[in-house]
Amino acid sequence: MKISLIQMNSISDRDANLKAATELIESAVALERPDWIALPEVFDFIGGVRADKFAAAEFLPDGPTYRTMQDLARRHGIFIHAGSLLEKIPGEERLYNTTVVFNRAGEEIARYRKIHMFDITAPDGTPYRESNSFKPGDTVVTYPCEDMIIGCSICYDIRFPDLYQALVARGATMIVVPAAFTMQTGKDHWEVLMRARAIETQAYVCAPAQTGPHTIGKETRTSYGHSLIVDPWGHVIAKASDGVGFVSARINPALVQKVRTQIPVASHKVAL
């Protein structure tokens, strides 16, 4: 199975972001002919103030972001793992940070809502309070794709290995981590965490990322980028440079089984 990860610099303009995502997907299809494509976290909208986020969000399955990704999957006959988008919740004052996945026919086959909220203080003192605007999900999600079982996670989830063990327990052989890692955390933790989760789960880990500056109110924040694909042994087999674009690789389901046979971690677990 050939896969492509889209790397974006989303802004506080949903229409512009959808245009950019569409152009990148169509370029990847033309140049790489992938079976499966993934986009980064909140590819539909980054920035603005709280009210702007809510104005850009949509109820699923309605809305332009959902329909655009659905149409692209159907038109090109590919799987699209639509990173994450802003999902409105009826009667709620917060949103979900939501992954939606479409098969080759444009049918929705998975929906995952980010479980772990990015409520931290960065090394430079900048506070991040994702839970002010977003409600956490509570469901572990996998879906079948060709010969793989793919597990869903989003960005900050990567720091919680129990989620990844739960995905493997549900059969995951590839795990996706659409992200918008900060520059400060990304430069020190991004690749280390992705490789660690791949080694622990003995699964492919695929992380499409946001890159570059985003305007949040009057403040500019920068995403780390460096979208990457890690194999079940922990090797980085594809990695994007800085800037907008995409990166591709071929995934071999047999390698997952080979690694799990060589080091049968699952059978060595003990209750503590």
Domain span at residue 189 reads 2-268
What pLDDT, on a 0 to 100 scale, did the predictor assign at position 215?
A: 82
Q: Which of 41, 58, 87, 130 is catalytic?
A: 41
114 annotated active-site? yes
* Averaged pLDDT score across all residues of the chain: 96
What pLDDT, on a 0 to 100 scale, did the predictor assign at position 218?
A: 78
Instruction: Tell me: pLDDT of 18 over 90.
Output: yes
- Residue 99 near residue 161, CB atoms below 8 Å: no
- Residue 137 near residue 115, CB atoms below 8 Å: yes
Q: pLDDT digits over 185-205, tens only?
A: 999 999 999 999 999 999 999
Q: Which of 88, 114, 135, 206 is catalytic?
A: 114
Task: List, in sequence order, every residue forming a beta bridge with 37; answer none if it has no partner.
Answer: 4, 80
> Model-level pTM?
0.96
Residue 48 pLDDT class (50, 70, 90 cuts): confident
106: left (phi over 0), alpha (psi -120 to 50) or beta: left
- Return d(Cα 186, Cα 240) in angstroms, integer: 14
Q: Which of 145, 152, 155, 206 is catalytic?
A: 155
Residue 26 pLDDT class (50, 70, 90 cuts): very high
End-to-end Cα, the chain, rounded Å:
38
**Domains of the chain: total:** 1
Which of 10, 31, 1 is CA-nearest to residue 209? 10
**Domain of residue 77, CATH code:** 3.60.110.10
Q: pLDDT digits over 214-260, tens only?
A: 887 778 889 999 999 999 999 999 999 999 999 999 999 999 999 99
What pLDDT, on a 0 to 100 scale, did the predictor assign at position 118?
A: 95
What pLDDT, on a 0 to 100 scale, did the predictor assign at position 12?
A: 95
Instruction: Tell me: pLDDT of 82 over 80.
Output: yes
Residue 158 pLDDT class (50, 70, 90 cuts): very high
Across 132-145, average pLDDT: 97
92 annotated active-site? no
- Return d(Cα 164, Cα 147) in angstroms, integer: 19
Residue 170 pLDDT class (50, 70, 90 cuts): very high
Instruction: Tell me: pLDDT of 106 over 80.
Output: yes
Residue 266 pLDDT class (50, 70, 90 cuts): very high
Instruction: Tell me: pLDDT of 180 over 80.
Output: yes
Least confident piece of the model among 42-46, 258-262, 267-271: 267-271
